[in-house]
Chain A
């Protein structure tokens, strides 16, 4: 270990050997975990800034929509909510929608930054990390972050007494899956972008309308027949309806539809992740 000895020689003339110390070939798993660790480290250094928001957002929404708006809805004795208080109807869906928004965001600026601004991905790629490992780090972290957001939201729901049943906890993994179904294809697309133009379009014409019209705040049956099918095209309604059915215990009323929800969500997530890996390879190895 002449190398190690040399390095301990302080500011002597031999900090580095003439030739490398033979860094061993790394396994793909280890490389992927190293990329993930970077995101985790970033979070550890900045979590204080976001933790308040993670609690505040569910509280604000549940108070405004669940209690405020819900008071009116419940007073109208409307049967569209399946006979449960509005806040109970709303809570699992709001969890999934909120997680979706956070995950979609993770697919935009952090990815654009990794390629174009702080060029984090390029720094990673000049080491033994492969594009696959880098893509894994990003999407793996997005899944973690989504699960954390969902778990905090779930806790707030329980504290509000807004949980329909203990099955509310299923909303957390459904939220994560829905998040991936959005984040992965968005990340694949953002890897090709040079500026934030696409971000604005994605938000204005995609995320915000979906958030409002995917059955979170009212059943999609309220939508005109002509546009109701749109809800089927995008993953959010599938996640919303599945989480709600599980939470309210109505999942067996229409098990085929619920299974279809799960299949469609999974398909979006898997195709999205594959697309992301392909695009990361293309964008990095030019």
Chain B
């Protein structure tokens, strides 16, 4: 039976539960052998859900006919806490929603508060912030790379990715003392200056990483079996990507040229971009269809190298100086509000803060990229195999801490 692509796959049909349309007589000729659809409860404890998420899959044998993600198992009231603790005290909580890219969360929150305050950040602090955010992007993409391999049954890439991530975490351990929840980038700059020798070690890390990166590509990304599992699977057309509010590697995998670092530059990224130090990798459909799982994976792997370029640029241009703006010990933010979107490894991470001039925020809203990105699974899963469901969920690279917050 030849299965043809529908020419325009972004027709509204994807928003409906596909399973229901099956009951309306489209396979009457199969009724004699028809069996009952099975409800498969993937999660909350399942190796492929990357945390505690639950996806209810309706399956006809190996074929998914419907899927429904259930969120909220990791809900920790992060936004409400933001309204009850002081400005600086909320910083450790930002570490904890996207715990794989805590530096980026720190950065987003700090930038939002700084925007309300109208603070001027010292240049060295900006450099350190950029280095840390990009190193953390590498670390996060390494996890995405490794766990995607795990989802597809390849164990070794995961350990290789963790080997480099371990070094990255050791670097962070040296600069701020923590390995996962850094709380390093703070309102007004960063907490500490880099210890002596740290920047040189980052340089060494970049040099080694370039070599290892080629191994990642050879071992997993270009492996024929891996390509077979990911190419043409979970295709998100451009319009669909926009409709679902996807961001980050998810839209770039669909070929949409959108990167907040370049298109809405913040901090030093405008300068870096003007220098041509990094480019935005896009999915091309090289191995299958544009916007498939392989393209998203490809974008992540290529972004690691681009991040290395940004770090190198910062290392070349960093100069001594203060790392913290002149701010009072007890932070009082003038009345006002601000929304700041930054490019998290997973997409657009937005922080919206409202201040009434007191020590505590009135509203602290987070727009998490994982939350939007996971919503697409419901539309993508029907019609795929159960094994593909795992591949698609893995390719969204969600962090459940962030979807639930």
A, B from the same assembly: no
Residue positions of A touching B, CB distance < 8 A = none
